[in-house]
Structure 1
Amino acid sequence: MKVVAVLYPDDNPDRHPDVAASTARGLDLGDWLSTQGHEFVATSDTGDELDKQLADAEIVVTTPFWPLYLGRERIENARQLKLVITAGIGSDHIDTDAATGHGITVAEVTNSNVVSVAEHNVLQILALVRNFVPAHQQVLDGRWDVADAAQEAHDLEGKTVGIVGLGAIGARTALRLKPFDVTMLYYANHRRSPADEATLGVRYARLDDLVAESDVICAALPLNPGSGALFDVDRLAAMKPGSWLVNTARGAIADADAVREACESGQLAGYAGDTWYPQPAPADHPWRHMPRHAMTIHYSGMTIEAQRRIVAGVHEILGAHLAGNPVPEDFVVATPDER
């Protein structure tokens, strides 16, 4: 059996011995699979060489979003493929309809990066509200202008934070924000129970009301046909003037040009996140050079601890498949039986 892992490239693995989701470490699959007589290939190639490797692969393991985009054409050419595993959370880089239509199960490592992304949400909320990036830039530039840094620095306490999407990551974000004594609103397709709302310290609001009332909005929802460009020109205009937006969900949830214009005009006091569209973001992406941002590359869900959870989950999924057993249900994104 052949397993292909499409992972992050690493030009200097000696400097990054703890990065398991790279071609150098290969999620620690190589020795484990080879001792069982299976072929294992770790690659970051996205072109013809990758297509050659996929042609006879039964299992593909891929980090979220990049480097592999597994569309219908690639799926149709990978005739032996039976299982696709996302090494993390977020499988919208895979055409799941095409996969299940060709008898392929799609799985991901549920909850592997929930803590990591929730912590990154709080980090980026604070970075924006406290005006951290410009103040830090003063240090790099050899400046010392307290008035300039303080002019746009605020306390988070007493603010209203709106969380769009209250799944595992949104809920963990709420729990971490609760001690800051903020008012928290949330919008989700399915309302939480009163007990859950009390525990998390949140109150349900319709999306339009949340947008109008929030000083900070944190997007924590999956990308689907209804959430693409959710924060477009009109919705950004409906936000409080001078409010902040954090998006670690999916880059395509926000209209890139509309966000840039809102940051330039001051309608947004700041924008932060680690998800971009497309990924990797090109050098001329409008978010790279717009004012009032605290963007990072897409790494929030790849802390060392998250990668350890990912490695354990991928091994569990693969182990079940190799033993002829179903993938554990909590890892399954889509199966052929759903069609």
Structure 2
Amino acid sequence: MAKILCVLYPDPVSGYPPQYARDEIPVISGYADGQTAPTPEPPIDFRPGELVGCVSGELGLRAYLEGLGHELIVTSDKDGPDSEFERLLPEAEVVISQPFWPAYLTEERIAKAGKLKLAVTAGIGSDHVDLAAAAKAGITVAEVTGSNCISVAEHVVMMVLSLVRNYLPSHETAKEGGWNIADCVSRAYDVEGMHFGTIGAGRIGLAVLRRLKPFDVKLHYTKRHRLDSAIEEELGLTFHKDVESLLEAVDIVNMQLPLYPSTEGMLDDKMFEKMKRGTYVINTARGKLVERDAVVRALESGHIAGYAGDVWYPQPAPPDHPWRTMPFNGMTPHISGTTLSAQTRYAAGTLEILQSYFGNAPIREEYLIVAGGELAGTGAQSYRLT
């Protein structure tokens, strides 16, 4: 019998929805790069569109795992030496976590997890796992690649429009009974004709570029592996060999790259100074890609016009985190990749990974981050161990 330790975000404060806003969600069978959506063996123990990403939702895994005689423990208590996660980790064979409510598998925690064989990210982005330590310990790390890429890309487009059009303050004016149009539009512009640049153009970054193309913006990108020339021609992309040249050229900067040691703190005071005054910055990748206080300084000085993101460090962010109160921000909790639509896919993908693992079958190459003591699959394309 295996012990599976699953860390998910807490249930709704107001209780589970008595009914959902919609009766159904569209069926997504595949992604733009040709990868198929998760295909676990039936039955799936939830209805597509249900809230399964929180503790009581359990990702719909309990019936499957208990049917095999395994023990499933689901908790949101993940931080600190006295947390349930810390207490139960030494006995766990499988750990499941989310980018939105990450159970940080540090080198120290991995050293205590003597029975751990598989760490699964229910979603995409496995930087909450010390990948070098996992590789050294022979732990397989997997994530549900592709499951919520479009969810995040749509969130980026929403944030771009919200910042540039000054939507959030204008909405507050309407809620408060006001009609002070001049105040609302004093920071509102058209996106049309602006230069938009993404740092990182993988699955999510490319999806963002495709969705912004119809807005008649000038599109820029930088990426470790340059895109195919046919894609560049199709979207009218300008490629930059380095981040600095992109920052100097664009009006909107989008962070869309993985977090590993060499990308941590990429946007600092020096890099913000390279941006033209009035630049907007979007970050739905990882909070530690930017220096926390450098963002605040850039906004307070007026050098950048707005910052929107849904990624923080740590997660959840403490109540006094300065990004909550800095001017001209469009911050949200880490929600971009956990819509009810996305939950359906990443819950099904988590089930598929577990079925492969317990069935002694290969885990999909696209889902692998670390295997056999080294980066593998998507991990080999996206991450570095140093």
**Shorter-normalised TM range:** over 0.9
Instruction: Give the SS at the match of 2:197.
Output: strand
Verify the 8 A CA contact 2:264 2:290 in the aligned structure 1: yes
**Do the aligned residues in 2 keep the contact of 1:118 with 1:173 (CA within 8 Å)?**
yes
Q: Which aligned pairs between 1:121-136 and structure 2 lie closer than 5 A?
A: 121-136=156-171
The answer for the alignment partner of 1:168 in structure 2 is 203
SS at match of 1:15: coil
- Once the two structures are TM-superposed, the CA of residue 99 in structure 1 deviates from its matched residue by 1.5
**CA distance in structure 2 between the partners assigned to 1:51 and 1:149 by the alignment:** 48
Q: What is the alpha-carbon distance in structure 2 between the residues aligned to residue 281 and residue 51 of structure 1?
A: 19
Paired with 1:303 and 1:121, the residues of 2 have a C-alpha distance of 14
Say whether the 8 Å CA contact 1:65–1:92 is kept in structure 2.
no
Mapped to 2, the partners of 1:132 and 1:121 lie a distance apart of 14
Q: What is the percent sequence identity of the aligned residues?
A: 45
- Alignment pair present for 1:323 and 2:359: yes
1:246 to 282, 307, 310: 282
TM alignment of 1:38-187, pairs within 5 A? 38-46=70-78, 47-64=82-99, 66-187=101-222
CA shift, 1:67, in A, is 4.1
Q: Using the TM superposition, give the Cα deviation of residue 14 of structure 1 relative to its aligned residue in structure 2, in angstroms.
A: 2.3
Whole-angstrom distance in 1 between the partners of 2:135 and 2:146: 23
Q: Does the CA-based 8 Å contact 2:219-2:237 persist in structure 1?
A: yes
What residue is the counterpart of 1:289 in the other structure? Answer: 325
Considering only aligned residues, what root-mean-square deviation do their CA atoms show, in Å?
Answer: 1.5
Offset, 1:140: 2.6
Higher mean displacement: 245-254 or 134-143? 134-143
Contact 1:185 1:203 in 2 (8 A): yes
Larger mean Cα displacement after TM superposition, 106-115 or 258-267: 258-267
1:217 positional shift:
0.8
CA distance in 1, matches of 2:102, 2:250: 35
| 2:46 equivalent in structure 1 | none
Q: Does the Cα contact within 8 Å between 2:9 and 2:100 map onto a contact in 1?
A: no
Deviation larger for 171-180 or 240-249 = 240-249
Give the aligned partner of residue 69 of structure 2: 37
Q: Do the aligned residues in 1 keep the contact of 2:137 with 2:373 (CA within 8 Å)?
A: no
For 1:239-278, list aligned pairs within 5 A: 239-278=275-314
Aligned residues: 339
TM-score (norm 2): 0.85
The answer as to whether partners of 1:65 and 1:93 remain within 8 angstroms in 2 is: no
What SS does structure 1 have at the residue aligned with 2:126?
coil
Q: Name the structure 1 match of 2:17.
A: 15
Cα separation, 2, equivalents of 1:160 and 1:322: 49
Instruction: Give me the TM-score of the superposition, normalised by structure 1.
Output: 0.96
Listed as ranges, the matches of 1:222-241 within 5 Å are 222-241=258-277
Aligned-partner residue type, residue 243 of structure 1: T
Are 2:356 and 1:312 aligned?
Answer: no
Please give the per-residue CA displacement for 1:77-120, whole angstroms capped at 9, x wherever unaligned.
Answer: 22111111000011111111211212210000001110000000
Maintained 8 Å contact 2:213/2:235: yes
The alpha carbon displacement at 1:306 in A equals 0.7
For each residue in 1:45-97, what CA deviation from the matched residue of structure 2 results, as whole angstroms up to 9, or x when unmatched? Answer: 22343233222221111112634111122222221111110000111111112
Contact 1:13 1:24 in 2 (8 A): no
Check the 8 A contact 1:44/1:67 in 2, yes or no. Answer: no
* Alpha-carbon distance in structure 2 between the residues aligned to 1:75 and 1:13: 34
One-letter identity of the residue aligned with 1:28: G
Partners of 2:352 and 2:133 in 1: CA distance: 25
Correspondence for 2:39:
none
The correspondence for 2:236, drawn from 201, 207, 211, is: 201
Read off the aligned partner of 2:93 and give its amino acid letter.
Answer: E
Rounded to whole Å, the distance in 2 between the matches of 1:220 and 1:51 is 31
Give the whole-Å Cα distance in 1 for the aligned partners of 2:319 and 2:176. Answer: 23
Kindly tell me: are residues 205 and 64 of structure 1, through their superposed partners in 2, closer, same or farther at Cα, counting changes over 3 Å? Answer: same
For 1:108 and 1:182, locate their aligned partners in 2 and report how far apart those are by CA, in whole Å: 33
Instruction: In structure 2, list runs of 5 or more residues that go unmatched.
Output: 21-49, 376-386
| Deviation, structure 1 residue 199 | 2.9
CA contact (8 A) 2:165 2:187 kept: yes
- Deviation for aligned residue 1:13: 4.6
| 1:204-227 deviation per Cα after TM superposition (whole angstroms, max 9, x unaligned) | 023222111101111111112222
Once the two structures are superposed, residues 161-220 of structure 1 have per-residue CA deviations (whole angstroms, 9 ceiling, x without a partner) of 011100000000000000001100101111111112123332202322211110111111
1:282 shift after superposition: 1.3
Q: Which runs of 4+ in 1 moved over 6 A?
A: none
Aligned partners of 1:308 and 1:321: how far apart in 2? 20
With 305-314 and 279-288 compared, the bigger mean Cα shift is at 279-288
